[in-house]
Amino acid sequence: MNNEKGNKSIILASVIGLLVLVGLGGFLFTRKDTDGEGNEMIKADDSVSKNTNVATTAPTTKGVYKDGTYEAKGDYVSPGGAEEIDVRVTLTKNVITDSSVAAMATRPTSKMMQQDFVANYKSLVIGKNIDEVMLTQVSGSSLTPKGFNDAIAKIKSQAAQ
Amino acid sequence: MDHKFVFEGIGTKWVINLYQLNRGVELKNLEKAILDRVEKFDKDYSRFRQDSWVWKLSQNPGLYHLPPDGKKMFDIYSKLYQATGGKFTPMIGDLISATGYDHLYSFVSKNVSTLKSWDEVLAVKGADIEIFSTALLDFGAAGKGYLVDILTDLLKEYSNSFSINASGDIYAFNCTEKVGLENPFDTSQVVGVVDIKNMSIAGSATNRRVWGKYHHIFDPTTLESTAGVVAVWVIANEAIIADAIATCLFLVGPEDLNEFDFEYLILDSKMEARYSKGFQGALFSVTN
């Protein structure tokens, strides 16, 4: 469609726009790669604002985009030193259906760094069966002792009478 | 030569994985040392037994000697009491009991009333604590994590590689545990996985300790169980911090807890997650 350099700057602008939407507009970054489809452009629309802390204005651009996940990496300097973030945008039928900003930090996070950056959000979290996931431990609410379980069962049966 | 040690302690299930044992260590000595230390902790801080230190303090005002590990417990509770505007409080024992989760597991609600403030109840004075007005103190919000840290220090004398899982509060020493984050709506599933090595992760959720209209995490300003947040995971260097902060995040936002160093993941009832920049792991969602 257009030449690759033009596409890169449009994608860059759109992803910057996306970062503005998630409140991280102060960062400069370069786009490192696409999903392999090449010359496509990103269009954002209001569906991205389903995240509660996101601004509602969305940049729009011309063009049709192939479904897929687009990724950009951003570099910035925090009080703790140079850091890198990874922005990922998933498009389905020209609509951003998912976006995330992932930390790439390798040093322990300092309190100061936590204060400087907004939290990340993810909607529509789902579960996967434990036996389908590679894990060695599980963390959730504490298992209850037998005495507790017996008492709960007793009051439930009393309530049912 | 991995060894797994499973036991019940402070009202929940513990699993200790020993991946290495120092020379000359006898397992039965190690296991006894652990169980003895767990029993001592329970006898000090449990509000469920009438021979405990906490029960003794709930009966009469006066000056009492703190257990040796008590100063750190009260220090952390004091800091978080202030940071949360009193929502995170050891006086919560009176409220939880009144709503039914008492030492008899009666699960009958009676005399639910506003809690006394920290200064009304107690003052820590060096190695002692003065009780001005009685309250049933509850250390459930951080006690399990604290005991994980205490047992970690004990185990380091016996082993150079182990992990402790106190029913969701985990410390991994010189090993990596891949920790699944249990789906509070379906405990056969996990919503994500995070690697833990030489760090602690604490998980809290409202799905298990449920009775009537209550679950076990209360907001003393409303006298009701908290709403909105269903599960929280916190990663910190010490399990006591991870555990305490995990409870706090049902009551206040992470921005109120700046004094402490931690990463977090908060899951709400709409299956939306909010997580700190440094919370590194996989989180499963519809689009991936």
| Token pair listed for A80 | 């703790």
Q: Which uninterrupted H or E stretch holds B120?
A: helix B118-121
Helix (H) or strand (E) holding B128: strand B128-131
Contact check, Cβ <8 Å, A148/B105:
yes
Cβ pair A141:B211 closer than 8 A:
no
Would you place residue A26 in the very low, low, confident or very high pLDDT band (cuts 50, 70, 90)?
A: very low
Q: What is the pLDDT of residues A87-103, one digit of tens each?
A: 666 667 766 666 665 55
Nearest to A140 by CA among B15, B223, B191, B81: B191
User: Does the CB of B50 have a partner CB in chain A at under 8 Å?
Assistant: no
Contact B275 A122 (CB under 8 A): yes
SS3 A57: coil
CA dihedral B149, B151, B157, B163 (to 10 degrees): -80
* B187 Cβ under 8 Å from any chain A Cβ: yes
Q: For A104-120, what is each residue's pLDDT tens digit?
A: 444 444 433 444 445 79
- Rounded to two decimals, the pTM is 0.75
Q: Which residue type sits at A92?
A: T
Q: Please state, in angstroms and rounded to a whole number, the distance separating the CA atoms of residues B14 and B5.
A: 8
Contact B180, B168 (CB under 8 A): no
ipTM value, please give it.
0.95
Residues B185 and B231: beta-carbon distance below 8 Å:
no
| Tokens (6 digits) for B50 | 């009438």
Residue B88 near chain A (CB below 8 Å): no
Do B190 and A145 count as a contact with CB atoms less than 8 A apart? no
CA atoms within 13 A on the CB side of A124: 10
Q: How far is residue B105 CA from its own chain's centroid?
A: 20
Q: Has residue A28 got a pLDDT over 70?
A: no
Taking residues A65-76, report their average pLDDT: 68
Share of chain A above pLDDT 90, in %: 17
Local mean pLDDT, 10-residue blocks, chain B (288 residues):
94 97 96 98 98 98 98 98 98 98 96 97 98 98 98 98 98 98 97 98 97 96 97 98 98 96 96 94 82
Q: How far is CA A61 from its chain centroid?
A: 22
The tokens 């947040």 sit on which residue? B229
Task: Give me the DSSP letters along B202-226.
Answer: EEEESSSSEETTEES-EETTTTEE-
Per-residue pLDDT, averaged over A10-18, amounts to 47
Closest CA to B241 of B274, B268, B264: B264
Please report the number of interchain residue pairs, chain A to chain B, with beta-carbon separation below 8 angstroms: 195
Nearest to B201 by CA among B236, B177, B232, B174: B236
